[in-house]
Structure 1
């Protein structure tokens, strides 16, 4: 009887030791799994191609650094920056540098661009006219209401000899009031940039930023004219300034200047977009 108790005790002690060892191993395995887990990063985007660029092209390049990029869609140009500032998202990709700088200054936001991506430029689109030569006097032209896109609009019209801008005006800040000559007597209808693609059915011409043109499935080949983007009008990946030196920011920065990114873009639907200057 005594021997039986001793044997039972030894078996019980062995079981406890085994369970403790298993528990320790499981804890280590769980910790290792947690350490190697991919962190999900939410990137704010507007309608257009950049959501797909984030998930299909950029995200695979930063997976080795432990990040998976997902997107949150906003239907205007206002909320993605405010959501980023409020820490509701981790980054955004929808805007160019000129807009970022003005919006941040106007709204007292501390945001920083960490890299530039290939960008689809603004186009002049029409369902009524086949080319710019067909523009008659007094046609209605839909243009963006926000300052930076309005300035781009006027530059595109000027580049195609439809208006001229007063010589003493900074063309990057030009408004309709800064038009010097309007030989076709164009009638301007200002709209939120997100509404411009839809306006094509009701106006003669619409100047549509690239991301909204893409979202509306407008073919750039059908545009009566496309802008040649200046560097400040190419889209940038943005984070809070306080986060610009984080592991995430550094991983994205490295990805955006990598040959792998260039090669992936060359094989994607974004291959014809204007490239960042440092790609030359």
Structure 2
């Protein structure tokens, strides 16, 4: 009986020792998982979130857990960054950022630029700009920087002429100096531009909205060139642009792999800006 008790005690000790080793291994595994740096980036659904999701596997190998956050409205992305709900956002270009930062007092920095979405002129009623009639209705985005961008595109196509001296990327139809065809401008929330297209003679629409609306970007009658200053950028709170994980994300976004991904997936709709 005594001998059996000794054997039982030895077995119990062995099981306890094995269990202890097993717990230690699990703890180490958990610790190794916790070594991953979580980075939350708020993004527009298309193409921004798609591009970010493309680089997730490569970043995971470097210990970065990239979490892509798509909110109901892009207008929420800068407040979310300000309130530290996300670590960065990717949906805007510098002229837009500068206009809202001045208004809202954001202290943000650009960590890197990724792509240009050439804004374009679309129509369900005409096949070329030469068919625009006297007094034709043109829908343009109503936020300051994109409104200027739309008017600048029309100026480049010699359909209007803006007043000289505009240098802050802000202009409205009241800043038009010459309008030979007396075009009528309808200022519309950018997200609604694809929807109002049947009600106007033409609409100048941001490419991400064209893609979201399942429109064919190749049907633009004319669009910006690749030298557009409206590159979409990664934006962070000032000081965070020097963080190792942010630099690693920007490096992946500026890689040859992403350049090929953008070209093959989006064609003329999205142009790499690096």
Report the TM-score, using the length of structure 1 for normalisation. 0.87
Measured in 1, the distance between the counterparts of 2:72 and 2:86 equals: 15
Cα drift, residue 169 of structure 1? 2.6
| Cα displacement string for residues 165-199 of structure 1 (whole angstroms, at most 9, x for unaligned residues) | 11233272222221100111111111111111111
Aligned to 1:23: 23
Question: Do residues 105 (structure 1) and 102 (structure 2) align?
Answer: yes
Contact 1:121 1:210 in 2 (8 A): yes
Q: CA–CA distance in 2 between the matches of 1:60 and 1:12? A: 44
In the alignment, the residues of structure 2 paired with residue 165 and residue 126 of structure 1 have an alpha-carbon distance, to the nearest angstrom, of 23
Choose which of 81, 85, 88 in structure 1 pairs with 2:85: 88
Three-state SS of the structure 1 residue aligned to 2:272 is: coil
Question: Any idea what SS the aligned residue of 1:267 has?
Answer: helix
Q: Residues 49 and 269 (structure 1 numbering): CA distance in 2 closer, same or farther, change over 3 Å?
A: same
Residue of structure 1 in register with 2:44 after alignment: 46
Deviations 1:236-273 (A, max 9, x none): 12222242222320111211232333233343335763
Deviations 1:45-94 (A, max 9, x none): 235322212212x3233222223434333454421111111122232211
With the length of structure 2 as denominator, give the TM-score of the two structures: 0.89
CA distance in 2, matches of 1:117, 1:134: 35
Structure 1 alignment gaps of length 5 or more: none
Is the aligned partner of 1:183 residue 2:180?
yes
1-structure distance, mates of 2:45, 2:31: 39
In structure 2, what is the Cα distance between the partners aligned to 1:60 and 1:191? 39
* 1:157 is the counterpart of 2:157: no
Separation in 1 of the partners of 2:231 and 2:32? 41
Unaligned runs of 5+ in 2: none
Change (3 A) 1:75 1:163: farther
| Equivalent pair of 2:115/2:233 in contact (CA under 8 Å) | no
Matched, 1:202 2:210: no
Q: State yes or no: 1:166 paired with 2:169.
A: no
Deviates more, 1:191-200 or 1:216-225: 216-225
